[in-house]
Copies of this chain bind each other. A is one copy, B any other.
Amino acid sequence: MARARIVDPDEGPRSKRAAILEAAVEYFGEAGYENTKWSDVADRVGIGQTALYHYFESKAHCLLTIMRLELQRSHDMFAEATADLDDPVEALRAGVRAAFAVSEHEIRQMRVLQANMSLLATPRKSKREETERVAARQLVQMVERDWTNLLMRGMAKGAFPVRDAHMLGLAVLGMIVSVWRWYRPSGAIPLSEISDLIEGSVVRMVGE
Please report A residues at the B interface, Cβ cutoff 8 Å.
31-32, 34-35, 115, 117-119, 121-122, 163-164, 167-168, 170-171, 173-175, 177-179, 181-182, 189, 193-194, 197-198, 200-202, 204-205, 207-208
Question: By DSSP majority rule, is chain A's interface helix, strand, loop, or mixed?
Answer: helix
Q: Which residues of B contact A175 (CB under 8 A)?
A: 171, 174-175, 178
Question: CB < 8 Å: which of B122, B171, B197 contacts A31?
Answer: B122
Alpha-carbon distance A35/B124, docked complex (angstroms): 10
Q: Known contacts being A175-B175, A201-B205, A204-B208, is A118 close to B121, with CB within 8 Å?
A: no
Identical chains bound together, number: 2
Q: Which residues of B contact A122 (CB under 8 A)?
A: 31-32, 35
10 A-B residue pairs with Cβ-Cβ distance under 8 Å, sorted by A, are A31-B122, A34-B119, A35-B122, A164-B197, A167-B194, A170-B179, A171-B197, A204-B205, A204-B207, A204-B208
Q: Which of A115, A122, A171 has the most CB of B within 10 A?
A: A171
Q: Which residues of B contact A115 (CB under 8 A)?
A: 117-118
Question: CB < 8 Å: which of B34, B168, B179, B201 contacts A168?
Answer: B201
> Closest residue of chain B to A112, judged by CB?
B118
Q: Is the CB of A167 within 8 A of B181?
A: no
Q: Which residues of B contact A118 (CB under 8 A)?
A: 32, 115, 181
Q: Which of A122, A198, A204, A207 has the most CB of B within 10 A?
A: A204
Q: Which residues of B contact A34 (CB under 8 A)?
A: 34, 119
Alpha-carbon distance A75/B195, docked complex (angstroms): 28
A60 to chain B, nearest CB (A): 9
Complex A-B, nearest 10 residue pairs according to Cβ-Cβ distance, in ascending order: A174-B178, A175-B175, A205-B205, A201-B205, A115-B118, A204-B205, A204-B204, A167-B197, A174-B175, A171-B175
Question: CB < 8 Å: which of B170, B174, B189, B200 contacts A174?
Answer: B174
